[in-house]
Amino acid sequence: MKLWSKGTEPNALVEQFTVGKDRELDLRLAKHDVAGSIAHIKMLQSIGLLTPDELRVLLGGLEQIAEDVAAGRFAIDAGVEDVHSQVELLLTQRLGEVGKKIHAGRSRNDQVLVDLKLFFREEIQRLARAVQELFATLTALSEQHKAVLMAGYTHLQVAMPSSFGLWFGAYAESLTDDVQLLRAAYKIANQNPLGSAAGYGSSFPLNRAMTTALLGFDDLHYNAIAAQMSRGKTERALAAAMAAVAATLGRFAMDVCLYMSQNFAFVSFPDALTTGSSIMPHKKNPDVFELVRGKCNRLQAVPNEVALLCANLPSGYHRDMQLLKEIIFPAIEELMSCLRITQFMLQHITVRQNILEDAKYDYLFTVEDVNRMALSGVPFREAYKRVGEQVRQGAYKPHKAVHHTHEGSIGNLCTNQIVAKMNKVMEGING
């Protein structure tokens, strides 16, 4: 069954090529398609296109399909093009001619748009919750290890004292920025396109405000053409947000790979969470974090893939847009898997104590000694010169006391403020 069928069947090769992976991917949209149809038929009854009895019968049929979806019994039959066609087919088979009335005032274009908007809204919430869980773990680790010093680097050179509290907390706060982008994508997704039909509206007196309220959207895509143009734009916003999360995760994974190496040995994991070598019996490889790094690098290419797919398309619907699902749906699952495994691994991380007792880290404290001299009245530039001369002559002996008290420093992590920042951002996604 095809909603656009005029009684003739397309060439089998053409059908196979144009349908692509839609049947498989559309299964994830099934519950949203039912939700959109329920809102639509309630609106149709309100404007006189369905009788109260027809509405009652159709609601019963759609609720039965919703139960099938929830129970895993829903499938798209061979020869049926997509989820929208399958839902209408089931209603017609089970209820008779009244099932054919649910498409009035709709196009397959705004059906898929509604399904995708509802799907993206839910998936963004799911991603944001996973990010928040990782954030909570990072902030807990930050507080737990706030007194444990480690080396800080610039240009991969020993630079200044850092701490595990500062390191874990840095990635926690970075995630708050990423959730800001998820929140922006959520706002773009949370607009109702239903009633835009094929992108030019309908001559039926549709009540689009009603379906907006029934589906829990924040607002309408008012202009029918703008509603159609939101396909691709919504995916691009979501892809950018996911890429931001991936960039943070990938950078953290790179840090872990470095810090697990023998030359650093800042952190370690149980043997069961690492892999070995087929010829080197001493190896404990950070394969999990190497794969997180690789997957997250790949995820950062998704916005460009979406942009190129939609490049130079004029207004209106184009079949190119079908391919967006093949890009975005797997990307969501890939990011979720990276979030979950990172969360799991951090439950088992061990941080090394007394790192800075090693003499190779003595130069970390040059700035501390310059600042100590400046606080005693020596001009900063003169203090810098004196310590630099000691370094050049090989006579530098560090004073290893660290006194950082300003906001966001080793001695003042501002964890509570960072948590408050994340909670405020999440309010815009959780509703």
Residue in 88, 28, 101, 83 with CA at minimum distance from that of residue 62: 88
CB atoms within 10 A of CB 262: 7
pLDDT at 413 (0 to 100): 97
pLDDT in tens, 73-120: 999 998 888 899 999 999 999 999 999 999 999 998 999 999 999 999
What is the band of 14 on the pLDDT scale with cuts at 50, 70, 90? confident
- Alpha carbon distance 109, 93 (integer Å): 23
The length of the chain in residues reads: 431
**Cα(150)–Cα(368) distance, integer angstroms:** 15
Interval 321-364: pLDDT, tens: 889 999 999 999 999 999 999 999 999 999 999 999 999 999 99
Q: Where are the domains of the chain?
A: 12-104, 120-194+222-357+405-430, 359-392
* Position 2 confidence tier, pLDDT thresholds 50, 70, 90: low
| Residue 278 scores a pLDDT above 90 | no
What pLDDT score does 15 carry?
Answer: 64
Decide if domain 120-194+222-357+405-430 falls under CATH 1.20.200.10: yes
Identify the CA nearest to 86 among candidates 95, 75, 73: 75
Question: Using an 8 Å Cβ cutoff, are 190 and 218 in contact?
Answer: yes
Beta-bridge partners for 157 = 154
pLDDT in tens, 185-241: 999 999 999 999 999 999 999 999 999 999 999 999 999 999 999 999 999 999 999
What's the pTM? Answer: 0.92
Provide the mean pLDDT of the chain. Answer: 93
One-letter-per-residue 3-state SS of the chain: CCCCCCCCCCCHHHHHHHHCCHHHHHHHHHHHHHHHHHHHHHHHHHCCCCCHHHHHHHHHHHHHHHHHHHHCCCCCCCCCCCHHHHHHHHHHHHHCHHHHHHHCCCCHHHHHHHHHHHHHHHHHHHHHHHHHHHHHHHHHHHHHCCCCEEEEEECCEEEEEEEHHHHHHHHHHHHHHHHHHHHHHHHHHCEECCCCCCCCCCCCCCCHHHHHHHCCCCEECCCHHHHHHHHHHHHHHHHHHHHHHHHHHHHHHHHHHHHHCCCCCCEECCHHHCECCCCCCCCCECHHHHHHHHHHHHHCCHHHHHHHHHCCCCCCCCHHHHHHHHHHHHHHHHHHHHHHHHHHHHCCCEECCCHHHCHHHHHHHHHHHHHHHHHCCCCHHHHHHHHHHHHHCCCCCCCCCCCCCCCCECCECCHHHHHHHHHHHHHHHHC
What dotted CATH number matches 12-104? 1.10.275.10
